Amino acid sequence: MNRQNCALAGFLGIMLAACGGQQGVKQAEEVSKYCAQRYADPRIDPVRSKMLIPISVTEAQDIQILANRERPTAAERDALLALAEARIACTKFSYERLGPPPAYRSSTQDRVTASLADLYAGEITYGEFAKTLLFIGERDKIAAEDLEQAYRERERWKDVNYSN
């Protein structure tokens, strides 16, 4: 399975967990297919070897990507714009099909967008962008774990009646 398919499978897994049930599976499959089509845009090709596409905060980054000290060329900036368009379209479609993501995931997406803008502006290198994704991913993971822990604690206490 190539990196893009792995990322989309991971995205699909998140959507399945968020939706549940057969309807959720169908919606998540629709989202995955739609996003795969957007990310297959050939205008994105000039940057495919320099970053993970689709952008992922949950996948490990190759050492070559992390070590890349290049900044985007004019052609690559056009590719980054196409990538940003694909991300926006995918996010919008996901929202329409699945509803809003958890707050921590929205925050993660905002951080990725800001970092992508920094890369586009030439303020950071491809390697710095990849390293930023690792940090964003770690924050995302911690936020998801905190949410899960809070849910487990809530479930443990939900039937306690203090009025006795």
- What is the value of pTM for the model shown? 0.76
Check residue 77 and give its pLDDT: 98
CA atoms within 13 A on the CB side of 84: 16
Average pLDDT value for residue range 53-65: 94
With contact defined as beta carbons under 8 Å apart, do 39 and 90 qualify? yes
pLDDT tens-digit profile of 87-144?
999 999 999 999 998 887 888 999 999 999 999 999 999 999 999 999 999 987 888 8
Q: Who contacts 69 (Cβ-Cβ below 8 Å, separation ≥6)? A: 125, 126, 127
Cβ atoms 76, 134 nearer than 8 A? no
Comparing 153 with 35, the larger pLDDT belongs to 35
Average pLDDT over residues 53-59: 93
Instruction: Confirm if 129 and 118 have CB atoms less than 8 A apart.
Output: yes
